[in-house]
Structure 1
Amino acid sequence: MSTRADTELSGSPSPGSFRASPWRQPRAVWATAFAAVVAFVGIGLVDPILPSIAQGLAASPSQVSLLFTSYFLVTAVAMLVTGFVSSRIGGKATLLVGLAIVVVFAALSGSSQSVGELIGFRAGWGLGNALFVATALAVIVGASSGGASAAIVLYEAALGVGIASGPLLGALLGGWHWRMPFFGTAALMAAGFVSILVLLTAPPRPATRTRLSDPLRALAHGGLATTSVTALFYNFAFFTVLAFTPFVLGMSPYGIGAVFFAWGVLVAVSSVVVAPRVQRRIGTVATLHLALGLLLVLQVAIALGGRVEVVVFVVLTGVPIGLNNTVFTEAAMEVSQAPRPVASAGYNFVRWMGGALAPFVATELGEKVHPSLPYLVGALCCLAGMLVLVARRGHLRRLDAVR
């Protein structure tokens, strides 16, 4: 892929140079990617054990769904300060602080005596996750060989592997006791902390310190605002599938874990293998339309299907979710002139609001109205995202112009 600088200097991308291999990377990049895998494990970790947590702590499904809401709400707000922190203490120190916070709060989550405590500890976990995840992307992009696109593919591969592994780890350890996945994640994050500490050379601090207001100022750019709002709608649909489906399946932790492991494998393959090829062939904006349209159809199919059909269609949502994860991330990095860490912070602040809202809203609708309604709302969110892309298409011309 031609870099942004190449395009600005030459006026057009150079044919045949779209992407370098994302797999030939320095050890520091692999250490950061490993820690990122473990960080993303935390997203799907609780999926297989949601019914077990509800039973163990005498909580309702909507109360348990707040484990996602508190986590992503704090993650979203904390995204606004990640650049401020990392530009002052450095990328490596920010990664280590984020990992340390996750280790502490993951362990505390495993020791919770009430659903209220668990919700609170997941909020603390979200703070550490924000510091780590936002900075990890910038560190991987900065330290990688092959340019930003190769680094983003590697980052999304880490996301896919983490999302796929989370339900599997949650099921295997959760079958023993619902507390064990939290302790297991704390141990893995401690290993990630050591790998970053030993293998990552501290990258140079940016010449200009990021202000607290910079991510919000970046969102004044029409392209970044459009990408972020569309991603908010997409994330609402995404986390409706992730957070509400365990209560619909009626399976053991092992069954739920198997369903979401298969789903996560499709997310990973779609992110790393399918997304770059589709994006090169039809362009960024068209790929977003395709992925949102496919997710819309699958959500309607889940709402109307029986138990077997629900399992099949939930697994298949991994394809459009993988496409969206990669393409939205790259779009947010490329659509404006804002520094990548600043653009990432503003974009993630908006999009994770969808992840914060969806679990509670979907579970409330499913409990109090009908189990199919959350998926229909998710489908409407996909449609809303597509309408935003159409209405604001003039702000997105840069995305396909630089390819």
Structure 2
Amino acid sequence: MNGTTPTASIWKQPAQVWAVAFASVVAFMGIGLVDPILPAIADSLQASPTQTELLFTSYLLVTGIGMLFTSWISSRIGAKATLMIGLALIVAFALACALSGSVDAIIGFRAGWGLGNALFISTALATIVGSATGGSGAAIVLYEAALGLGIAIGPLLGGLLGEVSWRGPFFGVVTLMAIAFIAILTLLRGPKEKRAPVPFSAPFKALRRPALAILAITALFYNIGFFVLLAFSPFPLGFGAMGIGFTFFGWGVALAITSVWVAPWMMRRMRRTTVIMTVLPLLALDLIIAGFVAEIAPALVTCIIVGGLLLGVMNTVLTEAVMEATDLPRSVASSAYSAVRFIGGAIAPPVAALLWHAFNSTVPYLFAAASVLVATLTIFLGRKILAHIDDEPSDAVIEDAEAITVGDAG
């Protein structure tokens, strides 16, 4: 993001960096892992689509709330301990999901999974940047690669294992995360961290900053569009687990490509606010089209892939904008922004399912498009307050921006 050209040194990293990078891939896989098995869970456990969509809501809501407290926790117990606790919670609750016999139980266990995810992903990038060789630019590229790989592989693995059983993807996460836990336990070493404790109230006070508040509200409504596309689309697609998995594998690859390469290219040529106010209406248009072609599977697949391209740009631009918006520390801005954003993601899936049940498959996408247009309007009305985010960022600010990509991956 900062114009640093990756060199061969990106691949010459200490074992502890690869351990955290591997765990990051698996953590981000968890976002889309259940996507291909939503219809199968609904059928197997006699659950309604609305109940099934709560698998996303409980996960995202607790992840968002957890983000408010992770900086307070990690500043006291250190990065390694925070990572280990997060991984242990993911392993325990993913196993509980796999062994569950009711959708209500899975909804509850996904909430616990979300807490573990909040602890892990909020700490992983700082750990990679602090341990990697070749400079922060190489570390950030490595982390972005892990993020993109996880987002793309999650639905594909969910589809492959979901063809065997809806329990398969959960067992897959348990296995991979247990390996990651052991790897970090044995390989993550370094000097004792010197941390200044972050006040418990810091993320809440941060949201009083007008610029950060505007961007957080924007992200909340934008994330509604994001998760209607991700979490609701498996139902109108009508595919089996494998078909859904391949569709969202393509979505994840598209998102990763534009996040890593296209967004920085656009920001070198346009102001951030201009990029945001250009891409958000295009995303709204894509969602409107998706609504009207929802019953035509090939057309809906095309809209999903195009949506991934647009979402990747937005993820990167919004995170950099957040870090330009205030002089707050990385962890505080990340906690405040990510918490509000994840709440938007938590709202979207069950509302979409309810609208589908009450009307038809078009209306959820129109609801998503309207939310994205609200996000656009928020940026437009707040553009004077946000004028400073269009200034040329320093390398340090760009590095900080990458730290909250965790809030933009899902």
TM-score (norm 1): 0.91
Matched, 1:324 2:314: yes
Q: 1:325 to 1:50 in 2, by over 3 A?
A: same
Q: Is the 8 A contact 2:221 2:344 kept in 1?
A: yes
CA distance in 2, matches of 1:279, 1:22: 22
Alignment partner of 2:384: what SS? helix
Alignment partner of 2:86: what SS? helix
What displacement does 1:337 show? 0.9
CA distance in 1, matches of 2:242, 2:361: 22
CA distance in 1, matches of 2:177, 2:108: 19
Q: 1:376 to 1:152 in 2, by over 3 A?
A: farther
Structure 2 equivalent of residue 311 of structure 1: 301
CA deviations over 1:294-349 (Å, ceiling 9, x no partner): 21111011011233211111121110111112222222233211110111011111
Structure 2 equivalent of residue 9 of structure 1: none
Structure 1 equivalent of residue 186 of structure 2: 198
One-letter amino acid matched to 1:220: R
Q: CA RMSD in A?
A: 1.9
Mean CA deviation greater in 26-35 or 117-126: 26-35
Structure 2 equivalent of residue 35 of structure 1: 23
CA distance in 1, matches of 2:337, 2:365: 25
What displacement does 1:363 show? 0.8
Structure 2 equivalent of residue 266 of structure 1: 254
Structure 2 equivalent of residue 347 of structure 1: 337
What displacement does 1:150 show? 6.0
CA distance in 1, matches of 2:221, 2:7: 29
Q: Is the 8 A contact 1:223 1:395 kept in 2?
A: yes
What displacement does 1:277 show? 1.0
In structure 2, runs of 5+ residues without a counterpart are: 394-410
CA deviations over 1:14-63 (Å, ceiling 9, x no partner): xxxx4343874433433322211100111100111000000111100000
Matched, 1:170 2:155: no
Q: Is the 8 A contact 1:62 1:363 kept in 2?
A: yes
What is the 5 A alignment of 1:152-301? 152-202=140-190, 205-301=193-289
Matched, 1:391 2:390: no
CA distance in 1, matches of 2:330, 2:194: 12
Q: How many residues align?
A: 388
One-letter amino acid matched to 2:299: E
Structure 2 equivalent of residue 112 of structure 1: 100
Q: Is the 8 A contact 1:91 1:203 kept in 2?
A: no
One-letter amino acid matched to 2:22: F
What displacement does 1:208 show? 1.9
Structure 2 equivalent of residue 55 of structure 1: 43
Q: Is the 8 A contact 2:277 2:380 kept in 1?
A: no
One-letter amino acid matched to 2:362: S
Q: 1:249 to 1:56 in 2, by over 3 A?
A: same
Structure 2 equivalent of residue 86 of structure 1: 74
What displacement does 1:235 show? 0.7
Out of 64, 77, 102, the residue aligned to residue 52 of structure 2 is 64
Structure 2 equivalent of residue 21 of structure 1: 6
Mean CA deviation greater in 203-212 or 344-353: 203-212
In structure 1, runs of 5+ residues without a counterpart are: 3-17
CA distance in 2, matches of 1:366, 1:142: 46
Structure 2 equivalent of residue 8 of structure 1: none
Alignment partner of 2:385: what SS? helix
Structure 2 equivalent of residue 15 of structure 1: none
CA deviations over 1:186-243 (Å, ceiling 9, x no partner): 1111122223223333565454201211111111222221221111111110000111
Q: Is the 8 A contact 1:288 1:327 kept in 2?
A: yes
Identity of aligned residues (%): 50
Mean CA deviation greater in 157-166 or 112-121: 157-166
One-letter amino acid matched to 2:348: A
Q: 1:121 to 1:391 in 2, by over 3 A?
A: same
Q: Is the 8 A contact 2:6 2:141 kept in 1?
A: no
